[in-house]
Amino acid sequence: AFHFRDCSDAAGNSAGCMYFTFPSAFFVFEDFLARKWSSEKRFGLEGCEVLIPALKTMIDKSSAAGIDSVIMGMPHRGRLNVLANVIRKDLDQIFCQFDPKLEPADEGSGDVKYHLGMYHERINRETDKNITLSLMANPSHLEAVDPVVQGKTKAEQFYRGDTQGKKVMSILIHGDAAFAGQGVVYETFHLSELPSYTTHGTIHVVVNNQIGFTTDPRVARSSPYPTDVARVVNAPIFHVNADDPEAVMYVCRVAAEWRATFNKDVVIDLVCYRRFGHNEMDEPMFTQPLMYKQICRQEQVLKKYSNRLIAEGVVTLQDFEEEVSKYDKICEEAYTSSKDGKILHIRHWLDSPWPDFFTAEGEPKSMSGVSTGLHEEVLQHISQIASSVPLEGFHIHPGVSRILRGRADLVKNRQMDWALGEYMAFGSLLKDGIHVRLSGQDVERGTFSHRHHVLHDQELDKLICVPMNHLWADQAPYTVCNSSLSEYGVLGFELGFAMASPNALILWEAQFGDFNNTAQCIIDQFISPGQAKWVRNNGIVLLLPHGMEGMGPEHSSARPERFLQMSKDDPDHFPVYFEVQQLYECNWIVVNCSTPANYCHVLRRQILLPFRKPLIIFTPKSLLRHPDARSSFDDLAEGTTFKRLIPDEGPASQNPAQVKRVIFCTGKVYYELARERKRQKLERDIAIIRLEQISPFPFDLVRAEAERYGNAELVWCQEEHKNMGYCDYVRPRFLTVVANQKPIWYVGRDPAAAPATGNKSTHLNELKRFMDTAFNLNAFQGKDL
Ligand SMILES: Cc1ncc(C[n+]2csc(CCOP(=O)(O)OP(=O)(O)O)c2C)c(N)n1
Ligand SMILES: *[C@@H]1O[C@H](CO)[C@@H](O)[C@H](O)[C@H]1NC(C)=O
Ligand SMILES: *[C@@H]1O[C@H](CO)[C@@H](O)[C@H](O)[C@H]1NC(C)=O
Ligand SMILES: *[C@@H]1O[C@H](CO)[C@@H](O)[C@H](O)[C@H]1NC(C)=O
Ligand SMILES: *[C@H]1O[C@H](CO)[C@@H](O)[C@H](O)[C@H]1NC(C)=O
Ligand SMILES: CC(=O)N[C@H]1CO[C@H](CO)[C@@H](O)[C@@H]1O
Ligand SMILES: [Mg+2]
């Protein structure tokens, strides 16, 4: 083994030199890849190879301090080297990735080699303790993985009762340009000390090669150091010369000790260079000619350091050469074995396996006969807690007290509103031992003041009561946390949290649905394609409140069209399977529920499913208090389930052959349509049917309804403008349902650039105009689509 010297301990004594050992593998690895695959992109680490022993040193030191699980996030540069020599993934599986002929043996479309994650449990040689290392899969989008790593770390700490971060920790590796440039770095730092988000200290390592692709630091940032962003949390920052391995190891030990002692973030700035271009195909002399003339003259750090040790007589040249050729041989052997009949398993690249969850392989179990309903006693108990203050002598605000009395009045009639429907879902899952975590801006009270999950004593400062945690003696914990004012960081965090365990309902609520675009990278890069790229389930729930209430262009639409456009179900294909199989095959579930009971059912179904899928729920504003948008306890009784579609149950349904028009719609606009139909006394002529689950599309139920009302015209009605909302998603699927026999007419607002007008009277005019069309039985006669 090759030796590194430690001539001073953390206290600064340099009395005697201590030698500690590890193989020179990491230096040789990049050479090996370069030799075998000279024209492949691998984002080599040359110029900063010292990163590998640096990480090992931090991990060894942390393991000695009691850490047994390390969760890491890193960009492209040096990733394969980290996988091979820090995580210690099997080399032949890494080399397999270079073989273009190999098809992955799992479902999913896969990802490029320098994005995949990995999970490995092994013995730490230095400390002889078990340690679990995971490197999270990530997209190209630099730094996007930072909050995801933090969320997953937090979740592991939470489920293990590691309240001080003494067992589980995170390490984040960054590039200098990305660390300075990407705002999510700042957002992640700001989560680092918040009670519900802290991971009790992260070690950050910046591979500071003083270049970002082709861009020099002087035009890439305004701060002197790339690491200055860490100063916002007063983190110590060590700038160290990466060509001086002893200094680097020293700094790494200090950083690990700092983290173990103070449980706060710490940053190491590894000042290095990038020997080649941005990737192996790239010519750096085009843009940095003088710098690269200098770099060419730099001796490889391994050479430099080994020459010094040989000169000092610490090792012999022979020792050194033996060491290098030993590792080369290991690589060669793995290379050979990767060639003969190896199969590429993306499954081997899972960063968060759930071994107890996926016991049976293959097809998911049927959900038929599985009810998401609840026993009357459970409903009564939850609603009683939801409408009272479970702490004696608590001074509650009179306004909140009025809200709780309002809930109690509803409950007397076995009725529930939106907030109570949510209570039923959370409360009943907690009873079954499912942890529920709701995070987002102002979620505790609720943006629209309907939720009130945290009550504040009006006389004693900081005395709070969370009734949801007083439901049952042996319930799972409920976490509700107002987040920092960030979407990108916080949604990424919750996504990471949801990766840790399938037995938890993790929800992120946007203040308003349209703010989700600040988190778009997490949605586009992780949530929508996550399972396809990384064969990983995730059951995160997004609550996106919005509504066309005449309040202007913002907050009127959470842009369902964007989510629907990314849904992968085929518009032209009538599926063979529904319910569970259809859900199993989709990339996410998109719903716009119109009743509190259905909202409760869909949240419960999320956990009762035998797999996990992201769930996007468009949640209402005005329906929170709408007197018609209520459900009876009967709608949640035992035996009931989530309704993907709610058929018309009025006079139209009694005589379907006489019905002239069927209006399909979703969500809140239903109540406006129902009111107008009543006013115009058209209840026999027009049926109104609600799609509650938009995607995957309930082809089967829509077909049954279309056939039931065989003589009727079909209409899709939405409040959103024509180029928005559900129209473009729904229309081709309707045509598949009716086999192109009938048109599906559009009723709604005209196309527009902004989601809604800022003029209240224009808003009302638009509403009146499309309501008139919806109920004018001659509207489409003689018209073309
Ligand atoms: C969010 C984002 N924007 C742009 C890119 C394109 N890109 C890939 S690597 C790179 C340069 C990164 O420089 P640095 O962070 O210093 O890392 P290095 O490659 O030098 O290790 C850029 C701009 C990206 N991957 N992600
Ligand atoms: C490490 O884990 C293995 C398997 O879980 C266990 O058998 C072994 O005793 C553990 N070793 C130590 C040193 O804790
Ligand atoms: C659901 O879709 C309808 C139909 O356009 C719309 O009125 C409503 O705002 C959407 N969201 C909710 C939460 O109902
Ligand atoms: C709003 O629109 C109405 C007509 O729809 C118009 O008369 C009125 O002037 C507009 N108000 C503003 C403030 O633009
Ligand atoms: C989220 O909301 C915004 C609307 O403001 C939209 O632009 C964005 O595309 C939405 N959807 C996704 C999938 O990010
Ligand atoms: C009003 C307020 O700040 N409420 C809470 C926000 O969230 C934290 C937990 O993350 C609570 O401790 C606060 O009481
Ligand atoms: Mg760089």
The pLDDT value recorded for residue 133 is: 96
Fold of 652-784: Rossmann fold (3.40.50)
pTM for this model (two decimals): 0.93
Helices of type H across 88-144: 91-96
- The CB-side HSE value for 271 (13 A sphere, CA atoms) comes to 11
- CA dist list (Å): 255 to 62, 217, 237: 10, 25, 9
Instruction: Assess whether the C-beta atom of 516 lies below 6 angstroms from ligand 3.
Output: no
Question: For residue 464, what is the enclosing H or E element?
Answer: strand 464-465
Instruction: Assess whether the C-beta atom of 129 lies below 6 angstroms from ligand 2.
Output: yes
The pLDDT value recorded for residue 5 is: 58
Q: Do the two domains 376-546+592-636 and 652-784 of this chain adopt the same fold?
A: yes
Class of domain 376-546+592-636: alpha beta
Query: Domain spans of the chain?
Result: 2-353, 376-546+592-636, 652-784
**Which of 197, 454, 462, 494 should be mutated for ligand 6, with most atoms under 8 A from CB?**
454
Atom of ligand 6 nearest to the CA of 195: 10
- CA dist list (Å): 531 to 304, 449, 538, 540, 613: 45, 35, 8, 12, 9
What HEC string does 709-741 produce? Answer: CCCCEEEEEEEEECCCCCHHHHHHHHHHHCCCC
- CA dist list (Å): 420 to 111, 380, 415, 423, 596: 42, 11, 9, 5, 8
Distance CA 611, CA 698 (A): 19
Looking at all shown ligands, the one closest to residue 484's CA atom is: 6
Instruction: Assess whether the C-beta atom of 175 lies below 6 angstroms from ligand 1.
Output: yes
The pLDDT value recorded for residue 230 is: 97
Distance CA 505, CA 435 (A): 6
The pLDDT value recorded for residue 365 is: 61
Q: What is the pLDDT of residues 567-609, one digit of tens each?
A: 999 999 999 888 788 999 999 999 999 999 999 999 999 999 9
Closest CA to 544 of 582, 516, 503: 516
Atom of ligand 6 nearest to the CA of 197: 10
Atom of ligand 4 nearest to the CA of 762: 5
CB atoms within 10 A of CB 357: 13
Closest CA to 515 of 542, 481, 548: 542
Q: What is the pLDDT of residues 308-350, one digit of tens each?
A: 888 988 888 898 888 888 888 988 998 888 887 666 666 677 7
Low-confidence ranges of the chain (pLDDT < 70): 1-27, 100-109, 341-347, 359-366, 368, 784-785
Tokens of 258: 């700092």
Question: What are the strands, taking DSSP E only, across 92-157?
Answer: 118-124, 129-135
Instruction: Assess whether the C-beta atom of 130 lies below 6 angstroms from ligand 2.
Output: yes
The pLDDT value recorded for residue 23 is: 45
Instruction: Assess whether the C-beta atom of 482 lies below 6 angstroms from ligand 6.
Output: yes
The pLDDT value recorded for residue 448 is: 86
213 alpha carbon to ligand 1 midpoint, in Å?
A: 6
227 alpha carbon to ligand 7 midpoint, in Å?
A: 12
DSSP output for 29-88:
HHHHHHHH-TTS-----TT-TTHHHHHHHHHHHHHHTT--EEEEE--STTHHHHIIIII-
Instruction: Assess whether the C-beta atom of 718 lies below 6 angstroms from ligand 3.
Output: yes
The pLDDT value recorded for residue 312 is: 87
**Protein residues whose CB sits closer than 6 Å to any atom of ligand 5:** 514, 516-517, 520, 523, 558-559, 562-563
Question: For residue 747, what is the enclosing H or E element?
Answer: strand 744-749
Instruction: Assess whether the C-beta atom of 487 lies below 6 angstroms from ligand 1.
Output: no
272 alpha carbon to ligand 7 midpoint, in Å?
A: 9
226 alpha carbon to ligand 7 midpoint, in Å?
A: 10
Instruction: Assess whether the C-beta atom of 545 lies below 6 angstroms from ligand 3.
Output: no
Instruction: Assess whether the C-beta atom of 132 lies below 6 angstroms from ligand 2.
Output: no
313 conformational bin, left if phi > 0, alpha if psi -120 to 50, beta if neither: left
Q: Residue holding tokens 């969320």?
A: 151
The pLDDT value recorded for residue 666 is: 97
* Nearest residue by C-alpha to atom 2 in ligand 4: 762
Distance CA 245, CA 268 (A): 13
Q: How many residues does the chain have?
A: 785
540 alpha carbon to ligand 3 midpoint, in Å?
A: 21
Of the candidate CATH numbers 2.40.50.140, 3.40.50.970, 3.40.50.10420, 3.20.10.10, the domain formed by 2-353 belongs to 3.40.50.970
Distance CA 311, CA 303 (A): 12
Atom of ligand 6 nearest to the CA of 462: 14
Beta strand 686-691 with 645-646: parallel, antiparallel or unpaired? Answer: antiparallel
The pLDDT value recorded for residue 745 is: 95
Chain centroid to Cα 289, Å, comes to 42
Question: For residue 205, what is the enclosing H or E element?
Answer: strand 202-208
Tokens of 413: 């009639």
The pLDDT value recorded for residue 514 is: 81
Beta strand 69-73 with 129-135: parallel, antiparallel or unpaired? Answer: parallel
The pLDDT value recorded for residue 513 is: 81
- Name, in order, each residue with C-beta under 8 angstroms of 430's C-beta and a sequence gap of 6 or more: 436, 468, 471, 472, 475, 476, 477, 478
Q: Residue holding tokens 């800022």?
A: 758
Q: At what angle do helices 418-431 and 376-386 cross, to 10 degrees?
A: 120
- End-to-end Cα spacing for the chain: 76
Residue 777 near residue 661, CB atoms below 8 Å: yes
User: CB burial class (10 A; 0-12, 13-18, 19+) of residue 576?
Assistant: exposed
Chain centroid to Cα 110, Å, comes to 18
What is the DSSP code (8-state) at residue 748?
E
Q: Residue holding tokens 């396996």?
A: 353
Closest CA to 303 of 31, 21, 22, 8: 31
Instruction: Assess whether the C-beta atom of 548 lies below 6 angstroms from ligand 3.
Output: yes
